[in-house]
Amino acid sequence: MREVAAEAGVSIKTVSNVVNDYPHVRPEMRARVEQAILKLGYRVNVTARNLRQGRTGLIGLAVSEISLPYFAELADAVIRAGQEHGVDVLIEQTAAVRDREIEALTGARRQMTDGLIFSPLGLGSDEQDLLEVDYPLVLLGERIFDAPVDHVTMSNVVASRAATEHLISLGRRRIAVLGAHPWEQMDTAVLRVRGYREALDAAGIPFDPALIRSVKLWHRETGARLIDEMVSEGVGFDAVFALNDALSIGALRALYLHGMRVPEDVAIIGFDDVQDAAYTTPSLSTVSPGTAEIAETAVTMLMERIAGNGPTQPRYVEAAFQVIPRESTLGRLGPA
Amino acid sequence: MREVAAEAGVSIKTVSNVVNDYPHVRPEMRARVEQAILKLGYRVNVTARNLRQGRTGLIGLAVSEISLPYFAELADAVIRAGQEHGVDVLIEQTAAVRDREIEALTGARRQMTDGLIFSPLGLGSDEQDLLEVDYPLVLLGERIFDAPVDHVTMSNVVASRAATEHLISLGRRRIAVLGAHPWEQMDTAVLRVRGYREALDAAGIPFDPALIRSVKLWHRETGARLIDEMVSEGVGFDAVFALNDALSIGALRALYLHGMRVPEDVAIIGFDDVQDAAYTTPSLSTVSPGTAEIAETAVTMLMERIAGNGPTQPRYVEAAFQVIPRESTLGRLGPA
DNA sequence: TTGAAAGCGCTAACAC
DNA sequence: GTGTTAGCGCTTTCAA
């Protein structure tokens, strides 16, 4: 910058002004400086600017695993939203393990970022004090904590009630749930099971605990395993509500291996509307949670907090959802 | 740091020495400083350190789209490998568009990172001069450029020859290829098609250009579209070699919609061994490209370049591959 | 083995 | 409108 100033015959401050688009610079000066910048191939040193401004231009995104399609798609959306706001995104993987989530919340990386978007899965709902951090934070998921933190989520109860109602409207009565967390007091799984029960109650369908299958991690393989268990236990069911699409993809595979036809014998609906859900055989009915909207909202909120002009009160936003019926509940839809 | 020095009654330099594990510090001093650090809750300011050292502790990873399962899994592996080396990973999406790849190569973000791992897809093989950059760079993919840059890839020709031979060994003769790039002089697609032709030639199977289906982007939907095209053109085929798994997942779906049985009527094999490939119906035969090995090698090479202790010559490494036969070529394998 | 002082490249405050 | 100066928090000479 000093060299540029010398080349242009102005002070270092003027160069800074030009680089930062400070309005009160004479066009002539500006032109001269820009010339010099071009000639010398000058580029501002971001690190120095950050040091001076106490900002890094980076925000963190902490999720369990980026290789899970839902989080990959979320990361994509967050990176795009960040771009709009002029920040880059540093992704951290927690594997949904409590200690690694705490590390994400308190570790050295928090110093490299101006704020964090965090999807907590391993933290207990009694550990809210961990969320009282001294940097801007936005949580993804239901307000399971009492901590005064911004939350962005979707209407889990209403959405899963709608998904269950879709199955009921098709005449299904024995609807299994995959991925429940009965050991949790409050989390996404709990809320989605609540929506399921509401739908059952409204339709006058008796609740059978044997149909509620629990597993902590919502992966393809655990979805398959839960189906295997039900089959070997001899639990009868004519529909499956998987609490996310990875579970439902695993379930689909297991049902096929057990010779059960989808949807003739068993209808199945998932949650998340990952891209793969449209390409399974049969294609997967699911709930679209408005991932892009969630990402944009979260980034916008975080940027407001970073700029220091958010409201005093923590905010709570629910993105719109949509039930997407496909072949796994409706049957063969014919050539695309 | 100044406060810590004051608290411990030592100079700021001693604090720095302690923080950086400089060996020649008297245990007594060290203890006193550590006490003060604990008491004051001090943490080094990474930005300041970076400014001083000219390092950022960040490496870039530029891929087309993180929401494509292969790149999501690659990113996962690179983040893990980076962790081993004490660096974080900044992911950039180029959408395989030339201008965005150039932006990734030359943009402002290159200033926030110490080096870049880059998977070029949009750049022409005649634009090697763009790769003559002044920072550490490792390319993912074949050495399609003459630029003196480290490359990490897999044995595309040999691997796709092996995949094709697998189909041939099953008695298939009319093997379609999905995702060719006939307009390219040299890229991954060209190499994989070369392996295909080698296998055909070795088996004495005539080459039919009508079976080579071209599409730039290897997505699920383009895979489906290519199958649709072949069917509507009346091109007969008894096997499909999709140049990646996304294409093969799309193809699988399209074949189903056209009422063609897999593998009875059409066997199909993909490339990448993404996690989903094991969960489709039927499960997808594919080629495992050693993604973890590629990621680790690339990060290690990059870190060597950053440290300035790599060889003068550019390196070229090929990861080991493995053909993974599943139901889409072998037929129903029975319950897991 | 430790301390003092300079300076990484930039922006903010203030003076001109 | 533009220049001067101080200093962000750290590491790195160099001297003690």
Q: How far apart are CA B263 and CA A76, in angstroms?
A: 34
Selection from A41, A50, A40, A76 nearest residue A61 by Cα: A76
pLDDT at B336: 46
Q: How far apart are CA A147 and CA A246, in angstroms?
A: 30
Residue of A nearest to B327 (CA): A257
pLDDT at B146: 75
pLDDT at A95: 95
Contact A257/B108, CB-based, under 8 Å? no
Q: pLDDT tens digits for B165-191?
A: 999 999 999 999 999 999 998 899 999
Per CATH, B56-153+291-319 and B156-288 having the same topology is answered yes
The CATH code belonging to domain B156-288 is 3.40.50.2300
Classify domain B2-44 at the CATH topology level: 434 Repressor (Amino-terminal Domain) (1.10.260)
Nearest to B67 among A45, A228, A275 (CB): A275
Nearest to A279 among B46, B253, B275 (CB): B253
Q: Which residues of chain A neighbour B335 with C-beta distances below 8 Å?
A: 257-258
The rounded percent of chain B whose pLDDT value lies above 70 is 99
User: Each residue of B19-49: b (16+ CB within 10 Å) or e?
Assistant: beeeeebeeebbebbeebbeeeebeeebbeb
For chain B, the farthest-separated pair of C-alpha atoms sits apart, in whole angstroms, at 86
Look up residue A129 and give its DSSP letter.
G
Look up residue B109 and give its DSSP letter.
G
CA A211 to chain centre: 27
Superfamily of domain A56-153+291-319: Response regulator (3.40.50.2300)
Contact A281/B252, CB-based, under 8 Å? yes
Average pLDDT over residues B145-154: 88
Candidate from B17-21, B100-104, B242-246 with smallest mean pLDDT = B17-21
pLDDT at A335: 58
Reading the block at residue A214, the tokens are: 């629990």
pLDDT at B50: 85
Contact B250/A69, CB-based, under 8 Å? no
Task: Report the residue of B55, B258, B276, B332 to disrupt the A interface, i.e. the one with the largest count of A CBs within 10 Å.
Answer: B276
Cβ atoms within 10 Å of A54's Cβ, excluding its own: 9
Distance in Å, alpha carbon of B298 to nearest chain A alpha carbon: 19
3-state secondary structure (DSSP) of residue B257: helix
Q: For residue B39, how many C-alpha atoms fall within 13 Å in the half-sphere facing its CB?
A: 13
Look up residue B10 and give its DSSP letter.
S
Cβ B47 vs Cβ B105: under 8 Å: no
In chain B, where are the structural domains located? 2-44, 56-153+291-319, 156-288
Q: How long is the CA B52 to C1' C6 vector, in angstroms? A: 12
Average pLDDT over residues B112-130: 89
Which regions in chain A score pLDDT beneath 50?
Answer: 336
Nearest to B48 among A51, A58, A90 (CB): A51
Residue bearing tokens 């036809």: A261
Q: Which residues of chain A neighbour B278 with C-beta distances below 8 Å?
A: 220
Q: What are the backbone dihedrals phi and psi of residue A240, each rounded to the nearest 5 degrees, phi first?
A: -130, 130
pLDDT at B78: 98
* Bridge partner list, B115: B59
Task: Report the residue of B37, B100, B279, B280 to disrupt the A interface, i.e. the one with the largest count of A CBs within 10 Å.
Answer: B279
Q: pLDDT tens digits for B253-302?
A: 999 999 999 999 999 999 999 999 999 999 999 999 999 999 999 999 99
Q: How far apart are CA A183 and CA A216, in angstroms?
A: 10
Contact B254/A93, CB-based, under 8 Å? no
Contact A93/B112, CB-based, under 8 Å? no
pLDDT at B335: 57
Q: Which residues contact A47 (CB under 8 A, 6 or more apart)?
A: B47, B50, B51, B56, B111, B112
Confidence of residue B19 (pLDDT cuts 50, 70, 90): confident
Q: Which residues of chain B neighbour A80 with C-beta distances below 8 Å?
A: 93
Strand order from edge to edge, sheet including B137-140 = A316-319, A150-154, A137-140, A115-118, A58-63, A88-93, B88-93, B58-63, B115-118, B137-140, B150-154, B316-319
pLDDT at A336: 47
Q: How far apart are the first and last CA of chain A?
A: 59
Q: Which residues of chain B neighbour A250 with C-beta distances below 8 Å?
A: 279
Contact B279/A220, CB-based, under 8 Å? yes
